[in-house]
């Protein structure tokens, strides 16, 4: 366990998250755990890229054009827990859930996971955006936890955030694909880079304005993003985004029999 995890109390974690809209937890996963996670991460990437499917999740839009990133790549799939038991166990790892509980409370629901691999030299950027527009929840408790299985430097296209921007709430035209308020007023070059090491997890609120630059380094950046909300919250009606509704700790107070029986 890293020094930050030993020293940070649940109250301190929550206070920092509420103030800044993100929390960088160092050394959540041990070196041996990361080795297993990276092994299965690579297996997933090999499996999905060997199939006849489009796995490049590079965005389009004015910001990608401005960054001259139309020939870049980011390999992506949802729901790594459907590929790998190692990754399912990672979602239930005690240190990961202890930090999540400090932020969300005792009832923790996993909405979905996303694998992102930014290849060396041509890894795609993500324009600055908020996540709420993709899967809005009734109580806006949704957060993300980005599990790092590789280093993530700014040259590798690490996460960049505007600390405190979660306090702005739901902004219009905030999904990063169109030329709106976020792209005009929150340029990616002025955002704070969150440099991380293998085993680190960076948590952020889905109102926090965030993005990442292209990977121009010689190294591959590997992350899995876990989207989580509290057990007394639920996704707004009519949203078709993948929703696993997997209870990682505590209880889901909003589930019904009919919803539980959905595929």
Domains of the chain, with CATH numbers? Answer: 3-260 (2.60.120.620)
CB 90 within 8 A of CB 199: no
Alpha-carbon dihedral sign for residues 134, 140, 141, 145: positive
Report the SS3 class of residue 112: strand
Contact in structure between 233 and 141 (CB atoms under 8 Å): yes
Nearest to 59 by CA among 190, 197, 177, 231: 177
Alpha helices (H) along 150-197: 181-185
State how far the Cα of 89 lies from the Cα of 79, in Å rounded to an integer: 13
Rounded Cα distance between 155 and 84, Å, is 29
- Rounded mean pLDDT of 234-243? 96
Question: pLDDT for 64-93, tens place per residue?
Answer: 999 999 999 999 999 999 999 999 999 999
- DSSP assignments along 211-249, one per residue: EE--B-SSS-EEEEEEEEEETT--BPTT--S----EEEE
Sign of the torsion formed by the C-alpha atoms of 202, 203, 209 and 210: positive
17 membership: H or E segment, kind and range? helix 10-20
* pTM of structure: 0.96
**pLDDT-based confidence at residue 8 (cuts at 50, 70, 90):** confident
What per-residue confidence (pLDDT) applies to 178? 82
């Amino acid at each position: 366990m890293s020094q930050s995890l030993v020293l940070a109390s649940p109250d301190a974690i929550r206070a920092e998250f509420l103030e800044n809209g993100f929390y960088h937890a160092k050394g959540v996963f041990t070196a041996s755990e990361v080795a297993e996670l990276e092994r299965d991460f690579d297996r997933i990437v090999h499996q999905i890229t060997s199939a006849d499917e489009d796995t490049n999740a590079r965005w389009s839009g004015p910001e990608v054009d401005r960054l001259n990133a139309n020939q870049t790549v980011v390999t992506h799939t949802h729901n790594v827990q459907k590929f790998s038991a190692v990754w399912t166990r990672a979602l239930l790892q005690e240190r990961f859930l202890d930090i999540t509980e400090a932020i969300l409370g005792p009832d923790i629901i996993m909405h979905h996971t996303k694998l992102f691999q930014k290849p060396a030299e041509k890894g795609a950027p993500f324009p600055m955006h908020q996540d709420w527009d993709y899967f809005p929840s009734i109580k806006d408790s949704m957060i993300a936890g980005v599990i790092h299985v590789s280093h993530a430097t700014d040259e590798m296209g690490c996460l960049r955030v505007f600390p405190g921007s979660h306090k702005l709430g739901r902004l219009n035209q905030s999904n990063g694909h169109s030329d709106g308020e976020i792209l005009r007023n929150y340029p990616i070059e002025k955002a704070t880079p969150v440099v991380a090491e293998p085993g680190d997890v960076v948590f952020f609120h889905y109102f926090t304005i965030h993005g990442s630059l292209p990977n121009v380094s010689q190294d591959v950046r590997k992350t899995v993003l876990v989207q989580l909300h509290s057990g007394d919250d639920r996704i707004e009606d009519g949203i078709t985004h993948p929703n696993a509704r997997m209870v990682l700790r505590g209880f889901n107070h909003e589930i019904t029999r009919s919803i539980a029986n959905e595929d």
